[in-house]
Amino acid sequence: MRNISFFLASCVLLIGIGGARSQTPPPKVKFNFAYKGDLKSLDPYTLKESFAIAMHSAVYETLISRDKDLRIAPGLAESWETLEPTRWRFKLRRNVKFHDGADFTADDVIFSATRVRAPGSNFKTNIPEDAEFVKVDDHTVDMLLKKPNPIAINQFNSWFIMSKTWSEKNSSTTPAAVGATTSNHATLNANGTGPFSVSEHLPGVRTVFKRNASYWDKIDSNLDEATLHTIENDATRVAALLSGDVDWIDPVPSQDVQRIQSSGKAVVLAGPELRTIYIGMDQYRDELKYSDVMGSNPFKDIRVREAFFRAIDEDAIVNKVMRGDATATALLIAPSLYSRSTEFKRPGHDPLRAKALLSEAGFPNGFSLVMDCASDRYVNGEAICQAVVSMLSRVGIKITLNSQPKAKFFTKVLAPAYDTSFYLLSWMPSSLDAHNVLYEVMGCRMGTTGGRGSWNVGNYCNPNLDKITDTIELETDISKRDALIKDAFQTIISDWGVIPLHQQSIAWGVSKNVSLVQRPDNELLLYWVVKKNEM
Q: What is the pLDDT of residues 11-44, one digit of tens each?
A: 444 334 444 445 667 789 999 999 999 998 999 9
What is the rounded distance in angstroms from the CA atom of residue 402 to the CA atom of residue 490?
A: 32
Q: What is the pLDDT of residues 219-256, one digit of tens each?
A: 999 999 999 999 999 999 999 999 999 999 999 998 99
Q: Comparing 119-123, 331-335, 384-388, which segment has the lowest mean pLDDT?
A: 119-123
Determine what percent of the chain is predicted with pLDDT higher than 90.
Answer: 89
| Side-chain-side CA neighbours of residue 464 (13 Å) | 9
Q: Which long-range contacts (CB under 8 A, 24 or more apart) does 53-56 make?
A: 53/158, 53/430, 53/523, 54/523, 54/524, 54/525, 55/207, 55/228, 56/160, 56/192
Q: What is the pLDDT of residues 290-304, one digit of tens each?
A: 999 999 999 999 999
Q: With a threshold of 0.75, does the pTM exceed it?
A: yes
What amino acid is encoded at 524 in this protein? L
Task: Print burial letters for 330-360: b (CB count within 10 Å at least 16), e (below 16).
Answer: ebbbbbebbeebeebebeebbbebbbbbbbe
* pLDDT above 90 (res 217): yes
